[in-house]
Amino acid sequence: MKIMTCPVNGPRNISEFAWGGEIKPQPDPATCTDAEWTDHLFLEANTAGVVSEWWLHTPTNTWFVARRNTVTDEVLETMTADTFFSRRSDTLR
């Protein structure tokens, strides 16, 4: 079984987690155009390589962030959302 480490609950079987997709910057709904908003809703970078993405530990309803390589299926790092967003943006990938 593949193991993923939830930053709050520790290492768990991958079947306890749900994938939330790549993190993408959200435009301001009050000021953006309709096209910007629909693009944000539906379009995906769908990167082949290292991504930062949302994951949910379903039994405890804990959302967190993982860095994962979508070509090799390696989880490189997991962290709380706070940790992720407090990092400087140029170190984010």
Partner 1 sequence: MPFALLKYAARSALKGDHAADAHFHWTPDLKPAYDVVIIGAGGHGLAVAYYLATRHGITNIAVLDKGWLAGGNTARNTTIVRANYLTPEGVAFYKESVNLFRSLSNELDINVMYTERGHFTLAHTDAALNTARWRAEVNTHMGVASEVIGPDEIKRLCPTLNVSDDVHMPVLGALYHPPGAIARHDAVAWGYAKEAMRRGVEVHTQTAVNKILVENGRAIGVETNRGTIHAGRIVQAVAGSSSVVASMAGLKLPIRTIPLQACVSEPVKPILDQIVVSGSLHVYISQSARGEMVMGGATDAYGLYSTRSTLDFKESLMAHMLELFPFMGELKVLRQWAGMADMTPDFSPVMGLTPIENYFIDAGWGTWGFKATPVSGVRMAECVATGRQPDLLKPFALDRFRSFDLVGEKGAASVGH
43, 89, 90, 91: which one contacts partner 1 (CB under 8 A)? Answer: 43
Residue located via tokens 């967003």: 85
| Chosen residue from 30, 35, 61, 86 binding partner 1 by CB under 8 A | 35
Q: How far apart are CA 22 and CA 10, in angstroms?
A: 22
Q: Write out the binding residues for partner 1, residues 52-91 only, by CB under 8 A.
A: 70-73
Among 1, 30, 90, 91, binds partner 1 (CB under 8 A): 1
Do 58 and 16 contact (CB within 8 A), yes or no? Answer: yes
CA distances from 18 to 4, 9, 55 (A): 11, 15, 6
Question: In angstroms, what is the minimal distance from the CB of 73 to partner 1?
Answer: 6
Q: Tell which positions 4-23 bind partner 1, by CB under 8 A.
A: 14-15, 17-19, 21
